[in-house]
Amino acid sequence: MPDRERGCGGRDVRTNDDAIFDTYRATFVVDAGDPATYQQAARGEVRAVFARLIYGPFYLSVRDFHPGDSTAFGRTVEYRLGKIERITRIEGRWLDCGCADGSYTASLISHGAREAVGTDISATRVDTARQLWAGTPGLSFQTAAAEEMPFPEESFDGVLLNEVLEHVRDETRTLREMQRLLRPAGYLFVLSPNRWFPFEGHGAVVGPVRLPFPVPILPWLPLRLTRRFLQARIWWPRQLERLVTSAGFDVVDVDFALPLFERNRWLPTRLLDLYERRFDYVERRRLLRRFGVSTVIAARKPH
C-alpha cells in the first residue's frame, strides 16, 4: 500500500515538522545553508534513535523496511491465494479491490478466474498495472474508490480485499459495496492486519516523527492509548469477523496468514533462518498461525 499522509484518525502527521527541525538542528551536523536538509536529517536521526532503542543491536535490520509494503511478490501471492483455494475454486469473474500493480489480479486469472478486474483509487497505480499486464486475456483495470464502484449489482463471483480495508476511507461502506457487487453465494475474502501479530507493520507516528519500521507490542495495547500513533486500522480477529457480518455476509471461515519475509527481512538473520526452516510446522498449527501477520476472513453473500 502507498505511504499515507494521514493517520487513521485523519490527522496530518507532517504539521509539526518545523518543531522537530527547531529541536534537533543544533544537535545534528548538516548543511547549514538548507533548512530542508536540516529537517530531513533531523527526522532521519530521530528515527534511528527510536530504532536503536527498540531493536538494540538488531536495529540495522529495519533500516530499509517499507511500512505497509505490498505483499504482491514471490511466494507470498501463491501462499495467500492458496488460502482462497482452501475454501473455494477461483473461477468466474473476480474483483481485486485495491489492486496496486495488479499482481494479485493477474494471479487470479492464472489460478482459474475467467475474468479479473482490478481497481485502485490511485490512477498512477492503475496505469502501472495496465502497462505491466498489457495483453493478458480476461484482465482489466479501473480507477475507483472502494466505497463507490462503477459496476452494476451482482457483477462478480468473488471479491478480494487484500490488505486494503485498513486503509479505505470508510470500511463499513466498502464492505456494503462489496456485498452489492457480489452475486448470491459469491465469496468475499478479506485479508487485513491481525492484532495478535506482535508488531505493527505499518510503523507508527510519534508527534511529528514517522517511525518507518515494525513497532513491537503496539498492536496488543488498548486502542485508546495507541490510536493516535497508528498509520492504519487494525482489528482483533473477532472484531474483523463482526465487521464483515454486519455488512450482510455469512462468515464461513476465519484463518491467518503468516509473514514470509521475502522482501522485508527485518528480523535477525538467525531467527529468520530458523523461522523459514520451521515454516510448514508453524503453518500446520492453528494456535501458532493465530499470531500471523494477517487475519483471513472468508465470507459469502446469502442466496
Do 188 and 122 have their domain in common? Answer: yes
One-letter amino acid at 267 equals L
Do 202 and 189 have their domain in common? Answer: no
Q: CA-CA distances (angstroms) from residue 208 to 20, 24, 59?
A: 7, 12, 21
Domain range for 244: 74-194+235-300
Domain assignment present for 69: no
Do 81 and 140 have their domain in common? Answer: yes
**CA end-to-end span of the chain:** 33
This prediction has a pTM of: 0.79
Percentage of residues in the chain with pLDDT exceeding 90?
Answer: 65
Do 166 and 206 have their domain in common? Answer: no
- Reported as a single tens digit per residue, the pLDDT across 263-289 is 767 677 888 899 999 999 999 999 999
SS3 of 158-199: the string is EEEEECCCCCCCCHHHHHHHHHHHEEEEEEEEEEEEECCCCE
Q: What does the block give as the cell for 236?
A: 482483533
The residues near 197 (Cβ < 8 Å, ≥ 6 apart) are 219, 259, 291, 292, 293, 294
CA pair distance 190, 240, nearest whole angstrom:
9
* Residues 205, 299 contacting (CB under 8 angstroms): no
- Reported as a single tens digit per residue, the pLDDT across 214-249 is 889 999 999 999 999 999 999 999 999 999 999 999
- Reported as a single tens digit per residue, the pLDDT across 47-99 is 555 555 555 544 444 445 455 556 777 799 999 999 999 999 999 999 999 99
Domain count, the chain: 2
Do 172 and 42 have their domain in common? Answer: no
Round the average pLDDT of the chain to a whole number and report it.
83
Do 190 and 203 have their domain in common? Answer: no
> Which of these, 231, 252, 161, lies nearest to 3 by C-alpha position?
231
